[in-house]
Amino acid sequence: MTDATYIEQAEAKDAEFGDYIELLKPRVMRLVIFTAAVGLLVAPVPVHPVIALAAILCIAVGAGASGALNMWWDADIDRVMGRTKGRPIPSGRVTEGEALAVGLGLSGLSVVMLGLFANLLSAALLAFTIFFYAVVYTMWLKRSTPQNIVIGGAAGAFPPMIGWAVATGGVSVESVLMFALIFLWTPPHFWALALFRNEDYVAAKVPMMPVSRGGRSTRRQIFVYALVLAPAALALGLTEIGGPVYGLTALVLNAGFVAGAWRVSRRSGAAAEADGFRAEKRFFGYSILYLFLHFVALLADAGLRALELAPTGWPVLI
């Protein structure tokens, strides 16, 4: 092999550090960090800031590791989809073997370190989350059923429950309802995306709801999930971690979410294509804000309680 050949091959394969970071899906990690941090901070048991930081880091790295395993397994369909063909493996910057090694290595490291930093329950929940996302969702459900995102959404719903477990060492109704909030939010959020990214999923032969059941059924189910999501979101406001800020925020946001889902459900595919899926894109954007503001509101009520500024008499019914 000449130097020139070696350089050409090395240039094609040698990844930069940022390419490995990209394997961890940093945008997904941001949401994981935020929701896990809220779950930890709103819990009634205070955690030392250093332990909290270390635990959240472990949860983020664990989530990133499952993202790397997802990219390793899905490299073939990532090459086909416009949204994902720039990822490190399809673009040739990282090999599949490297992604697998990064995914497995960081999975083990994050779970062990969380067990040492916090407690065994939170480590077990993190291990289950990684397994659920990488094996149950990515390897099994994603290519086999249009309900893929419904069941797979559980993986994204665990972080606040893990954060809560770091602080309290247990699982309670508050953490279950935080889980339910993300779990029930996931299908309408991703189906709105799938409606205007349908061609990608058709090309990759991923049986997302619009591909296998059609747009009409998907739109109807978005509305049904919005209706189911609203009471779960409002119920969280009636627990120990709820308060006036969350109650008001949830009321306004859920009214908007149901109204947006209703608008999407009433539209035909032809009308959506005619205006470039404006309502679907708006609903998708709103859904991101919806989840973010729910958790901000939980944090705000926790802050008011910590400062002893929370009004007395807020009903705790659950």
Partner 1 sequence: MREDHELHKRRAGRNAWLGLTLGAFVALIFAVTMVKLSNPQSEDHKAPNYVPATAGDSQ
- Minimum CB distance to partner 1, residue 61 (Å): 10
* Position 169 contacts partner 1 (CB under 8 A): yes
CA angle 181, 304, 295 (to 5 degrees): 20
51 or 80: CB nearest partner 1:
51
9 or 268: CB nearest partner 1:
9
CA dist., res. 303 & res. 310, Å (int): 9
Q: Contacting partner 1 (CB under 8 A), which of 1, 5, 17, 311?
A: 17
The two three-digit tokens of residue 144, written as one number: 């086999």
* Position 307 contacts partner 1 (CB under 8 A): no
Q: Contacting partner 1 (CB under 8 A), which of 95, 119, 172, 265?
A: 119
* Position 112 contacts partner 1 (CB under 8 A): no
* Position 12 contacts partner 1 (CB under 8 A): no
- Minimum CB distance to partner 1, residue 5 (Å): 11
- Using CB under 8 A, which of the segments 2-10, 142-150, 151-159, 187-195 binds partner 1? 2-10
* Position 10 contacts partner 1 (CB under 8 A): yes
Residues that bind partner 1 (CB under 8 A): 3, 6-7, 10-11, 14-17, 45, 47-48, 50-51, 53-54, 57, 117-119, 169
